[in-house]
Amino acid sequence: MAPRGIHGRVFVIDGDVDTDIILAARHLAETDPAAMARNCFADLGATPSFKAGQYPIVIVSGLFGIGLVRPPVPMAMRAAGIEAVIAGELSPLFFEHSLNGGAVLPLQAKLPRRPFTGEVAQLLLDGERAQLIWDAGNVDFPCRLPPWSLAGESWVETMQKRVEEAGGLSALQASLRRG
């Protein structure tokens, strides 16, 4: 299988990120993708600030997606142009909603080094490994699901297995909505 790649600028966040930082509760009723994108990370308070459409890769040093995760959260991230999030730890609910909507690729890894916000990087995914490449560095890490998910399989294998076991993608999405 040829590696799948995501290329573009990275946005780096130090520490934990809860869902109210990703998309504040006051914006949850939004259905317009442009409004969702504009409000994604609006309350982060980072310098430089997050700008929709500029950062397809988000790197978070701590726990990502904690709090009350609702389906609009990963959808807002996708509307903002985010294709992947690499976090030191992922909230199980955020992971489920990311899978359910097919919105954002969630990867869990504590990176020993990483690019700075605004640097251009390429994230390559090939089976069980992921590689993040940028001008000043290169990090190779396991492309595995978080420990609370199905153990010992790659992300792709696990998703395929879950879809098959549920009886198709629609059935899996329905079961995730039911909880």
SS3 138: strand
| Domain count within the chain | 1
CA angle (78, 128, 96) in 5-degree steps: 40
User: What whole-number distance in Å separates Cα of residue 43 and Cα of residue 30?
Assistant: 16
CA dihedral of residues 157, 53, 15, 67 (deg, nearest 10): -70
Non-local CB neighbours of 33 within 8 Å, separated by 6+ positions: 79
- Confidence band for 88, pLDDT divided at 50, 70 and 90: very high
Q: To the nearest whole percent, how much of the chain has pLDDT over 70?
A: 76
CATH number of the domain enclosing 74: 3.20.19.10
* 108 pLDDT higher than 70: yes
Domain that holds residue 48: 4-146
Please indicate, yes or no, if residue 177 is contained in any of the structural domains: no
* 143 pLDDT higher than 50: yes
